[in-house]
Structure 1
Amino acid sequence: MTPSSSAHIGQMSVEDFEAIARHTPETVTLEFINGKLEVKPVPDGDHGEIIMWLLRQCLQQRPELGLYPEQGLMVETYRNGRARPDGTLTQVGNFAGHSEWAPADGVLMTVEVTSHDRDTDRHDRVEKRDGYAAAGIPVYLLIDRDAEQVVVYTDPEKGRYRNRVSHAYGATVKLPSPVAITLDTEKLQDYAR
C-alpha cells in the first residue's frame, strides 16, 4: 500500500485500523484517535443511566432528532480518526446507508460521559474534543463525572472549539443552536459518586 492510497498517521493507517476493528470481539470497543489505537472502557451502570437521561430529554424536546449511542464517526482533519462517541445527535435517518464508520456530516452534537479510568483526561477532555472540533461538529457536550460538571464546547474553528462553558450538576443548561435543547441537570446529582 503506497502512502498516496492510504491515509497514514501515527501507529497505523485508517484502513488497517478498520480491518482490526471489524474482527474485534463485541466485548471490546476500539477507536482510532490522534493516530493511535485506543480501547474504549466498558461503561458502568451510572454511565448508562446518564446516557438514558440525556436521550429522554433530547427526544422530548426535539423528536425529529436521534441520539445515537456508540455510532462510529470519521473525525479529525481529513477524517483520519475513528471515534465512537457515547452519543451522537443528528436528524433521524442521517446514518442510513453508511457503514460502521459514518462521516460527521449533519452531526449536531457529540456527547461523552467520562469514565473513571486513568485515560479519561486525555481521551474525553482533549483528544476526542479536538477530533470533534476538527470534524466541524457544532456542539460537544462533556458530562464530566469527576468534576460533577456539564461542559459545553461550541464554535469549532481550525480544529479547536472557541467557546467552553461549564455548569455544575443541578444547573439548567441551554445548548445553543443547532441543538437548541435545554437540559435540567438536577438528575445528574443522583449519579455523582
Structure 2
Amino acid sequence: MTVMAERTSQMSVEEFETIASAAPETVTLEFVNGRIGVKKVTDGDHNTIVAWLARRCMRTRSDLDLYQGQGLRVEAYREGRAKPDAVLTPEAHFAGAGEWADPDGTLMVVEVTSYDSDTDRRDRHEKPAAYGQAGIPVYLLIDRDSCTITVHSAPDRKVGGYRTLHTAKFGETVSVPDPIGIEIDTEILKSYVR
C-alpha cells in the first residue's frame, strides 16, 4: 500500500489573496493543492477557443452566462483558489460576487491548455481534483497538446475528481451532459493548435 505524504501548504489562503490582489495584469495567480501557481498569459488561439465556446453555449442555452476571469474558491473547505479559463453559470449568477466566488451554482468550468511546463500538472491533475471536490458538475478540458477535448462529469466530492470521463479528438462531436445538455462540433479546434 502506498501512503501519500500530506502536502504542507505554502501559505494561508489570506496570504495568497493578498499576493494575488497585488499581482500585475500580465499574470494570473492560483492557489490549488496548497501551492501557488502562475498561469501563462493566454495567446490569441487560446482566447479564440474560449470565444468560440461562448458562442456555442449561448446559441444553445441563452439562459446561461460564460464568465472569463472569475475566480472560484475550490477544494475541501474552499481552501483553494482557481481562475478557470471560463465558468458557465445561470444568467447573472456572479452578480455582486467578489474576485473569489463560491462555486455553488456553477454548471461547468473550462480550461484550455497552454504551451507551458505546468499545464500537465495543473490542468490534467490538480484542477479536475479541485473542481470535482467543489462539486462542479462538468469540467471541460480543451487540450491543445493532444488535440482532444475531455468532458469530466459526475464529480466526487469526497476524494475529488470525476467518476466519468469522455475524451474525443478534435473534429468529433462532443456531448456535454446535464445540467448543460448540449452537443459541440469540435472541427474548428484543429485550426487553433500549433
TM-score bracket, normalised by the shorter chain, equals: over 0.9
- Which deviations, in whole Å up to 9, do the C-alpha atoms of 1:116-161 show, x marking residues without a partner? 1111000000001111001000000000001100000000112120
Deviation at 1:25, TM superposition (A): 1.5
Whether 1:106 and 2:105 are equivalent positions in the alignment is yes
**Where does 1:178-193 land on structure 2 (aligned, <5 Å)?**
178-193=179-194
Distance in 1 (alpha carbons) for counterparts of 2:184 and 2:12: 39
Which AA in structure 2 matches 1:118? S
User: Which amino acid is the alignment partner of residue 55 of structure 2?
Assistant: R
2:19 and 2:147 mapped to 1: Cα distance? 35
**SS at the partner of 1:12?**
coil
CA drift of 1:192 comes to 2.5
User: 1: CA distance between counterparts of 2:146 and 2:165?
Assistant: 15
Deviation at residue 28 of structure 1 after TM alignment: 1.9
Aligned to 2:148: 149
Q: State how 1:1-193 maps to structure 2 within 5 Å.
A: 10-157=9-156, 158=158, 159-193=160-194
The share of aligned pairs that are identical, in percent, is 56
CA RMSD of aligned residues (A): 0.8
Corresponding position of 2:5: none
**Residue correspondences, number:** 185
Paired residue secondary structure (1:107): coil
Q: What's 1:3 paired with?
A: none
Q: Which residue of 2 aligns with 1:5?
A: none
CA distance in 1, matches of 2:103, 2:66: 14
Equivalent in the alignment of 2:3: none
AA partner of residue 117 (structure 1): D
How far apart, CA to CA, are the structure 2 residues paired with 1:71 and 1:35? Answer: 20
Measure the CA separation in 1 of the matches of 2:33 and 2:180: 26
Equivalent residue letter for 1:182 = E
SS in 1 for 2:55: helix
Give me the whole-angstrom Cα distance separating, in 1, the residues matched to 2:44 and 2:161. Answer: 31
Structure 1, unaligned stretches of length 5 or more? 1-8
Q: Secondary structure at the match of 1:73?
A: strand
Query: Larger % of strand: which?
Result: 1
TM-score under structure 1 length normalisation: 0.94
